């Protein structure tokens, strides 16, 4: 049996592919999410550490793991690597598209950084008037050294959980922007203009994270972008970037079994 770690657009793509090819699978997410039709899959939710994963793999007879989680879920990636190493199970990473069109990468002012700590240091030196951190609720603590001293708007998903988390961590309520991510350049541009943003902080979340729209909107307004690059994947993950590649690799693994 295959387990798919999802909760993303990529996870749903993988689940749909496995359904179409009649492969039984277990679809796992950290938080309970909106259900979708699964013809050959079953669904579970709840956080898993390496020990819990190892136990689940044995209980369900897991023989292959497909990691289709968010690129910044570094702790989860490490737990998957650890549990699979213990169990002798291979990991396929279904990766999203991170490419920027040449015209956009040449036109936009993009400052690459390797971590949130580096982003904070850079922003301190840049000294913008008002930063928009389109980095989600989990970035509150890493960005604390900045927002406790300078003005920063933080955009998060509309949910009671997000509001309560921000309140608990002491983030200024007046600087919290609760809205669904803009899905077009015009929507993103409107948000930047409405809040008087002169610098955009975002993560390398790829096309399914609407990164292109964020950068294009900022570029059109002459706003610099501080881009936190995605963390590296654990060694041993076999990366595929399309359903065609995934199918070929699964067939190859099946023939070797």
- For 12-33, what is each residue's pLDDT tens digit? 999 999 999 999 999 999 988 8
- For 198-253, what is each residue's pLDDT tens digit? 999 999 999 999 999 999 999 999 999 999 999 999 999 999 999 999 999 988 77
| Confidence check: pLDDT of 93 > 60 | yes
The angle, 0 to 180 degrees and rounded to 10, between the axes of the packed helices 185-194 and 211-220 is 60
Q: Which long-range contacts (CB under 8 A, 24 or more apart) does 9-15 make?
A: 9/96, 9/208, 10/68, 10/94, 10/95, 10/96, 10/208, 11/68, 11/69, 11/94, 12/36, 13/68, 13/94, 13/243, 14/66, 14/68, 14/94, 14/243, 14/246, 15/41
Domains plus CATH for the chain? 2-97+232-256 (3.40.50.720), 102-228 (3.40.50.1980)
pLDDT of residue 256: 53
Mean per-residue pLDDT of the chain: 94
The pTM assigned to this predicted structure is: 0.90
Q: What is the DSSP string of 150-218?
A: S-EEEEE-SSHHHHHHHHHTT--GGGEEE-PPP-SHHHHHHHHHHTT-SEEEEE---GGGTHHHHHHHH
Q: What percent of the chain has pLDDT over 90?
A: 87
Q: What percent of the chain has pLDDT over 70?
A: 98
- Place 34 in a pLDDT band, splitting at 50, 70 and 90: confident
- Place 254 in a pLDDT band, splitting at 50, 70 and 90: low
* Residue located via tokens 């023939």: 255
pLDDT of residue 251: 84
- For 166-202, what is each residue's pLDDT tens digit? 999 999 999 999 998 889 999 999 999 999 999 999 9
């Amino acid at each position: 049996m295959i387990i798919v770690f999802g909760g993303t657009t990529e996870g749903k793509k993988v689940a749909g592919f496995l359904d179409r090819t009649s492969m039984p699978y277990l679809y796992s997410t950290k938080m309970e999410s909106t259900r979708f039709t699964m013809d050959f899959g079953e669904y579970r939710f709840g956080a898993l550490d390496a020990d819990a994963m190892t136990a689940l793999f044995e209980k369900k007879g897991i023989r292959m793991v497909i990691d289709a989680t968010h690129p910044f879920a570094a702790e989860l990636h490490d737990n998957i690597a650890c549990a699979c190493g213990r169990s002798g199970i291979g990991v396929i990473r279904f990766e999203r598209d991170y490419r920027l069109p040449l015209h956009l990468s040449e036109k936009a002012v993009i400052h690459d950084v390797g971590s949130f700590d580096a982003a904070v240091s850079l922003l301190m030196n840049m000294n913008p008037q008002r930063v928009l951190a389109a980095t989600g609720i989990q970035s509150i603590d890493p960005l604390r050294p900045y927002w406790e001293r300078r003005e920063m708007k933080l955009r998060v998903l509309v949910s009671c959980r997000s509001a309560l988390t921000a309140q608990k961590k002491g983030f200024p309520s007046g600087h919290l922007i609760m809205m669904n991510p803009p899905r077009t350049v015009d929507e993103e541009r409107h948000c930047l203009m409405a809040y008087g943003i002169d610098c955009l902080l975002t993560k390398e979340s790829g096309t399914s994270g609407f990164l292109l729209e964020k950068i294009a909107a900022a570029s059109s307004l002459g706003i610099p972008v501080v881009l936190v690059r995605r963390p590296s994947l654990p060694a041993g993950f076999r990366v595929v970037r399309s359903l065609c590649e995934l199918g070929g690799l699964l067939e190859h693994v099946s023939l070797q079994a």
